[in-house]
Amino acid sequence: MIKTFFDLDVYRLGNDYSMKIFFLTREFPKSETYSLTSQIVDSSRSICANIAEGWGRRVYESEFKKFLVYSMGSLQETKSWLTFANQGQYIDDTTVSQLMDEAEVIGSKLFKLHQNWKS
């Protein structure tokens, strides 16, 4: 039974994902702190933050769905930043591939939740 946004599988997966990225970025050069590092951490956190905010507005079905779309956008933004991190050789190919695969799972779950949510 879903009582809070914490009960949503996609929220838990998104939180785990953002924490992996958070710890991974601790290894980025200090010169990237206010650019790539902050961008990728912020966008990955925004995945869950938008789910939570939408949940708080779920009495209006369209509001919850709108925030799920924002969450999907944040996920795509995170994938873009991961690509930059890989190109800058801050993340190896294997790690970025695993993170991209996880992103696809999260994105699929967000899309299905958006399609199937009924107030």
pLDDT tens sequence across 55-86: 999 999 999 999 999 999 999 999 999 999 99
User: Radius of gyration over alpha carbons of the chain, in Å?
Assistant: 15
Structure tokens belonging to residue 7: 């009960």
> What's the mean pLDDT in 90-116?
98
pTM above 0.85, yes or no: yes
**Number of domains making up the chain:** 1
| Contact between 83 and 73 (Cβ < 8 Å) | no
Residue 78: what pLDDT?
98
**What DSSP element (H or E) covers 75?**
helix 61-87
Residue 118 has pLDDT above 90, yes or no: no
Question: Which CATH number fits the domain that encloses residue 36?
Answer: 1.20.1440.60
User: Which range of residues forms the domain containing residue 97?
Assistant: 5-116
